[in-house]
Homo-oligomer: A and B are copies of this chain.
Amino acid sequence: MNFHQYNYTKPFQLENGQILENLTIAYHTAGTLNPEKNNIIWVCHALTANSDVFDWWAGLFGENELFNPKDHFIICANVIGSNYGTTNPLSTNPETNSPYYRDFPTITIKDMSNAHQLLADHLGISTIHLLIGGSLGGQQALEFTLLNQVKVDNLVLLATNAIHSPWGIAFNESQRLAIEADSTFNDKTENGGRNGLIAARTIAMLSYRTYIIYEQKQKDEDSVYNDFKASSYQKYQGEKLANRFNAHSYWTLSKAMDSQNLARNRESLEKSLSQISSNTLVIGISSDILFPPSEQKFIANHIPNAKFIEIDSIFGHDGFLVELQELNTILEHLV
């Protein structure tokens, strides 16, 4: 995919009233717009992913995959707050000429979606053939559709919700408390809060996976009373993330996930969903404890042209990234 950055030089108004003086939006594209302008696939990425969808959704997106650059013009934009090229807490605060760090404003899913709209305007996009996203990406896809400025022909929402649950907020709060327990989070450095971030990611892993997956893959073969495989796995996953992410972006994005509520400044969740006219497919993972299928059923029940499909999987929330064979089957009619 090709990496681009779009610099929006006007003030960008956030939902909380604050203003980002300027906004850089990083995005990847692959393929070209066809003459009929009906081959655009817009992907919204999840919490710690980047805009290179061929990298993190290989098996579904790629040169020779179901969604490929020969047939489609594929776009994915990095969200505000993320450290993959879009304005984020490590960007320079024009007021102080040094990075924002903890002064970065609270970002909502709606702010992210407004930024997607800016990019769509910049690229002259008025119709999207397929808008697709899972988890935090699905939250954006819903808001982006509700902005009602681009026409979304097909909407695919995976393992996501219309309002973030108290349970999900509590999981995110525990992660933020772990980051805040690391006093280096207050240091004005890129690595501030690294140990807290490691702990936070391990908490997130528990919400992304399941008892049965840990049982199958992290069980010790010998009778030990210390240094368990599951402990090493947690540390490994935490460090792996900390080597490619930072505590400030993580903190900001987890707050954005919590902000998801299609009813805020609207009549109700049901009414908001009922205004979506896209041909919609809502996909849930049977064992997802973070965004349980009941949340996707709710969405599908209130969008007029929606269908709900549950993937039977032991992978939990991560199933939307892992169950590729199933997803290829479910989505092939959308090519």
Question: Which residues of A line the B interface, CB within 8 A?
Answer: 15-16, 106, 108, 165-167, 169-171, 173-174, 177-184, 195-196, 198-199, 202-203, 205-206, 210-211, 214-215, 217-220, 223-226, 228-231, 233-235, 238, 255, 258-259, 261, 263-265, 289, 292
Contact = CB atoms under 8 A, between A and B. Distances in A.
Given A181-B195, A195-B181, A264-B223, A166 B229 contact: yes
Given A106-B226, A183-B183, A177 B165 contact: no
Contacts of A233: 166, 170
A108 to B, nearest CB: 5
A263 to B, nearest CB: 6
A231 B173 contact: yes
Contact of A166 (B171, B179, B214, B264): B214
A218 B177 contact: no
Contact of A182 (B108, B182, B230, B265): B182
Contact of A223 (B177, B226, B238, B261): B261
Given A16-B225, A177-B202, A225-B108, A170 B261 contact: no
A214 B166 CA distance: 6
Contacts of A234: 170, 173-174, 177
Contact of A289 (B165, B178, B205, B211): B211
Contacts of A196: 178, 181
A174 B223 CA distance: 22
A294 to B, nearest CB: 9
A193 to B, nearest CB: 8
B170 A215 contact: no
A170 B218 contact: yes
A214 B170 contact: yes
Contacts of A215: 165-167
Nearest to A205: B170
Given A166-B230, A174-B199, A181-B199, 7 more contacts: A166-B220, A170-B206, A170-B234, A179-B181, A181-B196, A183-B184, A226-B259
Contact of A174 (B173, B182, B203): B203
